[in-house]
Each structure stands twice: as C-alpha cells, then as structure tokens.
Amino acid sequence: MPELVSDFALPPRFAAASIEDLLSGGRKLRRVFYEKALRYAGRDAPLARIGRAEPTVLRVVSGFAYRSCLVADGRRAILDVLLPGDFAGLDHIFLARPGEEITAANRVGYNELPSGEFRQLLADPQIGLYVMALMAETRWRGDRIAASLGRLDAMTRICVLLLDIHDRLRRRNLINRPTFNLPLTQEQIADHLGLTLVHVNRTLRRLREQKLVIVDRQVVIIMELEKLRSLAQGLPQPAELPDVDAPLQRLAPTVPWGGGAK
C-alpha cells in the first residue's frame, strides 16, 4: 500500500484565486524595471548604503549580491543572498534611510527605481499584491535560515544553503544541471551561516570527502542532490512565485547571469 504524504510535508502553494493577479502584477512590475537603464557594480561595491537618503528599490539582472549589517563588535552578518531576478530594498518604500547594506558579490547588473516612484506603482492592486508576495518570499528565506542556524550543524547548514541557491537558479531557468557558479567567498559563507572561516573550510573538505558536494574555485558541483534534500526536510519552505519572466524575456537586456570580471 503506498505511503500517504501528509499535507504538512508538501510545499506551500499560492491560492488559486491569487495566481492571475500575481502574474499580471509581476509582469507590470518587471516591465517598469526593464525600461530603466541597466547599471553595473563591481565586486564588493555597495548598491545601497546604511543611512543613504532617498534609497532606491533594486532588481538584480545578473550576478550575485547580498544584504548585510554590522553587529556591535564590528563583525558582519550576511542576512540574505540575492540572485538574478531578485528584488532588493523593498522596505525602502517605507523607510527614510536604509538600515542594511546591499553589496555586490561579483560584477552585478541591476535596474533601480526611486522609492517614491515605486510607491506610486502600489496604487495598482495587482502590483501591490505581487510586492506583498515578494516580501513574503524574503521572509520565508529568513525563516529558513533562522531555523538552520538554530537547529542544524555546520555541514547541514552549508548543504541547505547550496541546495537553496541551486533550486532558486533552476526555477528561473538559469541552470539545468546540479552545477553552478557561486561567487561567495568562504568568509562570506561563514558570515551568512554564523560559522568561522576555519569551520567552513573544514566542512567543505568533509563534503568533498563524502562525495556530497564539491566547491572549487567558486564552482559548486552537487553530487548527491537527493541527499541534500533529505537533510533539509522539515525546514520552512517558500511557495514558488508564478513564473512571470518568460513572456518578457525579449524586453530584458542581454547580460550573462553570472556576471564577469571586475
């Protein structure tokens, strides 16, 4: 007799009644950003600084970036890793000044929109709904990393991080194999997962020895994808946003997703 799968074990889904509005809102929002000039920032360049007046909302077109803050003793905490297609600074539509920094991990191509102009878009209910879904997606990622930090050991934390980046890239049709470029340094991985640089280095070596994952020269090769999925069981899962990019690809600038040399 086949084993029954509990509803609680299935990934959450958006309500059917909201899908059409989410698709329409996402297409409208992306069209606005595609019409803006494409900007570039080199590795380690700030896209948004703490305390900057009149902050902007960003959409990453190519490359990787991250949100971070500095704790009292001067150490950096990386709060979120941003991939091509991600929006950053959505909270800037409410804040006078940013409370976090957004930094390029490698060469990043991005569009930006002044927060005041972005607020005007929210008069469209479909765009407003899509922005709420984007904020929920960011919160889900935060919940997932918080659960990882609170309950998982170093090896499992790194496995979950690599799995999540793989899945996000795959859903956006940016990769089709369990291999991808990861322009984060070991120090940045440590700052994101609450580990030391030595611990990250030792753990990556263990993953290679156990033939689960190879991380070499900023290239990740996942050798046991289902094993990584089993390690992530029970963690909070984000609902997958509807794919609104495909109909607008002809509007997007032609830029390699991984960025290039500085």
φ, ψ for residue 183, nearest 5 deg: -80, 15
Q: Between helices 125-151 and 186-193, what is the axis angle to 10°? A: 90
- Give dist(CA 79, CA 141) in Å, integer: 10
- Give dist(CA 5, CA 244) in Å, integer: 30
Domains of the chain, with CATH numbers?
14-140 (2.60.120.10), 152-233 (1.10.10.10)
At 247 the pLDDT is: 44
Q: What angle do CA 160, 166, 167 make, to 5 degrees?
A: 90
User: If we measure between CA atoms, which residue out of 106, 102, 262 comes closest to residue 182?
Assistant: 106
Mean pLDDT by 10 residues, the chain (262 residues): 45 84 96 96 93 87 96 94 96 85 97 95 97 95 96 97 96 95 98 97 97 96 96 89 61 41 37
User: If we measure between CA atoms, which residue out of 143, 130, 125 comes closest to residue 59?
Assistant: 130
| Residue 144 in tokens | 């997932």
- Give dist(CA 127, CA 212) in Å, integer: 41
What's the farthest any 2 CA atoms get from each other in the chain? 62
In the numeric block, the tokens 């698709």 are attached to 23
